[in-house]
Amino acid sequence: MLFGKKKRRITRLLIVEDEPLLAFDTEHFLTEEGFAVVATTDSVREAIGHLDGPDAIDLVLADLGLRDGNGADVAQAARTRNVPVLLVTGRPLDEVEAIAMGCLSKPYPQRHLLAAIAAIEALLDGRPPRRLPASVKLFQTTA
Protein backbone atom coordinates (compact mmCIF):
# COMPACT_ATOMS: atom_id res chain seq x y z
CA MET A 1 0.00 0.00 0.00
CA LEU A 2 1.48 3.28 -1.13
CA PHE A 3 0.13 5.49 1.64
CA GLY A 4 -0.15 2.89 4.40
CA LYS A 5 1.31 3.38 7.82
CA LYS A 6 4.96 2.47 8.30
CA LYS A 7 5.42 -0.70 10.30
CA ARG A 8 6.49 0.21 13.81
CA ARG A 9 9.66 -1.12 15.34
CA ILE A 10 8.37 -0.30 18.82
CA THR A 11 5.08 -2.09 19.49
CA ARG A 12 5.32 -3.65 22.98
CA LEU A 13 5.63 -1.28 25.94
CA LEU A 14 6.14 -1.57 29.68
CA ILE A 15 4.68 1.39 31.59
CA VAL A 16 6.23 2.09 35.00
CA GLU A 17 4.29 4.93 36.63
CA ASP A 18 3.24 5.65 40.23
CA GLU A 19 0.37 8.05 39.48
CA PRO A 20 -2.66 5.76 38.91
CA LEU A 21 -4.68 8.14 36.72
CA LEU A 22 -1.69 8.96 34.53
CA ALA A 23 -0.80 5.26 34.25
CA PHE A 24 -4.38 4.39 33.24
CA ASP A 25 -4.62 7.27 30.75
CA THR A 26 -1.26 6.41 29.20
CA GLU A 27 -2.12 2.72 28.88
CA HIS A 28 -5.51 3.49 27.35
CA PHE A 29 -4.12 6.09 24.94
CA LEU A 30 -1.24 3.92 23.73
CA THR A 31 -3.52 0.89 23.29
CA GLU A 32 -5.87 3.04 21.19
CA GLU A 33 -2.83 4.10 19.12
CA GLY A 34 -2.06 0.46 18.33
CA PHE A 35 0.66 -0.30 20.88
CA ALA A 36 0.56 -3.42 23.05
CA VAL A 37 1.08 -2.65 26.72
CA VAL A 38 2.79 -5.70 28.22
CA ALA A 39 2.16 -4.39 31.74
CA THR A 40 1.62 -1.27 33.80
CA THR A 41 3.18 -1.16 37.26
CA ASP A 42 4.25 1.30 39.95
CA SER A 43 6.95 -0.98 41.38
CA VAL A 44 10.65 -1.37 40.63
CA ARG A 45 10.49 -5.05 41.62
CA GLU A 46 7.51 -5.80 39.39
CA ALA A 47 8.97 -3.87 36.45
CA ILE A 48 12.21 -5.84 36.62
CA GLY A 49 10.14 -9.03 36.86
CA HIS A 50 8.44 -8.09 33.59
CA LEU A 51 11.83 -7.38 31.98
CA ASP A 52 12.85 -10.92 32.94
CA GLY A 53 9.49 -12.40 31.95
CA PRO A 54 8.48 -14.24 28.80
CA ASP A 55 6.94 -11.23 27.01
CA ALA A 56 9.18 -9.21 24.71
CA ILE A 57 9.39 -5.50 25.53
CA ASP A 58 10.45 -2.95 22.91
CA LEU A 59 10.46 0.16 25.12
CA VAL A 60 10.08 0.98 28.81
CA LEU A 61 8.31 4.21 29.78
CA ALA A 62 9.55 4.87 33.32
CA ASP A 63 8.83 7.51 35.92
CA LEU A 64 11.63 8.20 38.38
CA GLY A 65 9.53 8.24 41.56
CA LEU A 66 8.01 4.83 42.24
CA ARG A 67 6.24 3.09 45.10
CA ASP A 68 9.25 1.01 46.13
CA GLY A 69 12.23 2.92 44.78
CA ASN A 70 13.64 4.85 41.89
CA GLY A 71 12.76 4.41 38.23
CA ALA A 72 16.47 4.83 37.46
CA ASP A 73 16.86 1.29 38.84
CA VAL A 74 14.32 0.09 36.27
CA ALA A 75 16.15 2.00 33.53
CA GLN A 76 19.47 0.44 34.56
CA ALA A 77 17.93 -3.06 34.57
CA ALA A 78 16.39 -2.46 31.15
CA ARG A 79 19.69 -1.17 29.79
CA THR A 80 21.51 -4.34 30.88
CA ARG A 81 18.87 -6.30 28.92
CA ASN A 82 19.23 -4.06 25.84
CA VAL A 83 15.72 -2.64 26.22
CA PRO A 84 15.53 1.10 25.50
CA VAL A 85 14.02 3.44 28.08
CA LEU A 86 12.17 6.73 27.83
CA LEU A 87 11.94 8.46 31.18
CA VAL A 88 8.59 10.16 31.73
CA THR A 89 8.99 12.34 34.79
CA GLY A 90 8.59 15.71 36.37
CA ARG A 91 11.71 15.21 38.52
CA PRO A 92 15.22 16.52 37.84
CA LEU A 93 17.33 14.30 35.60
CA ASP A 94 20.39 13.78 37.78
CA GLU A 95 22.77 11.30 36.17
CA VAL A 96 20.27 9.44 34.00
CA GLU A 97 21.60 10.21 30.53
CA ALA A 98 23.70 7.03 30.61
CA ILE A 99 20.74 4.74 31.28
CA ALA A 100 17.94 6.19 29.14
CA MET A 101 17.62 7.25 25.53
CA GLY A 102 15.64 10.33 26.44
CA CYS A 103 13.12 12.00 28.71
CA LEU A 104 9.60 13.34 28.33
CA SER A 105 8.89 16.00 30.95
CA LYS A 106 5.59 15.97 32.82
CA PRO A 107 3.03 17.31 32.33
CA TYR A 108 2.78 16.67 28.60
CA PRO A 109 0.10 16.40 25.90
CA GLN A 110 -0.42 12.88 24.56
CA ARG A 111 0.89 13.86 21.13
CA HIS A 112 4.26 14.60 22.76
CA LEU A 113 4.35 11.01 24.04
CA LEU A 114 3.86 9.74 20.49
CA ALA A 115 6.57 12.10 19.23
CA ALA A 116 8.96 10.85 21.91
CA ILE A 117 8.30 7.19 21.02
CA ALA A 118 8.79 8.00 17.32
CA ALA A 119 12.10 9.71 18.14
CA ILE A 120 13.34 6.65 20.07
CA GLU A 121 12.25 4.44 17.18
CA ALA A 122 14.18 6.65 14.71
CA LEU A 123 17.31 6.43 16.88
CA LEU A 124 17.01 2.64 17.05
CA ASP A 125 16.72 2.57 13.24
CA GLY A 126 19.83 4.77 12.92
CA ARG A 127 17.87 7.75 11.60
CA PRO A 128 17.78 11.27 12.98
CA PRO A 129 14.50 12.01 14.74
CA ARG A 130 12.09 14.57 13.35
CA ARG A 131 11.54 17.85 15.09
CA LEU A 132 10.81 17.27 18.77
CA PRO A 133 8.49 19.08 21.16
CA ALA A 134 10.23 21.11 23.87
CA SER A 135 9.09 18.56 26.47
CA VAL A 136 11.28 15.84 24.89
CA LYS A 137 15.01 15.66 25.53
CA LEU A 138 17.11 12.99 23.83
CA PHE A 139 20.29 11.79 25.51
CA GLN A 140 21.56 9.74 22.57
CA THR A 141 21.75 10.85 18.98
CA THR A 142 22.51 7.52 17.32
CA ALA A 143 21.49 3.93 17.97
Domain ranges of the chain: 12-138
Give percent of the chain above pLDDT 70.
Answer: 92
**What's the mean pLDDT in 116-139?**
92
pLDDT of residue 48 exceeding 70, the answer is yes
Residues 36 and 11: beta-carbon distance below 8 Å: yes
Tell me, what's the pLDDT at 139? 87
pTM of the full structure: 0.89
**CATH C-level class of 12-138:** alpha beta
CB within 8 Å of 61: residues ≥ 6 apart = 13, 14, 15, 16, 17, 26, 85, 86, 88, 113
pLDDT of residue 131 exceeding 90, the answer is no
pLDDT of residue 143 exceeding 60, the answer is no
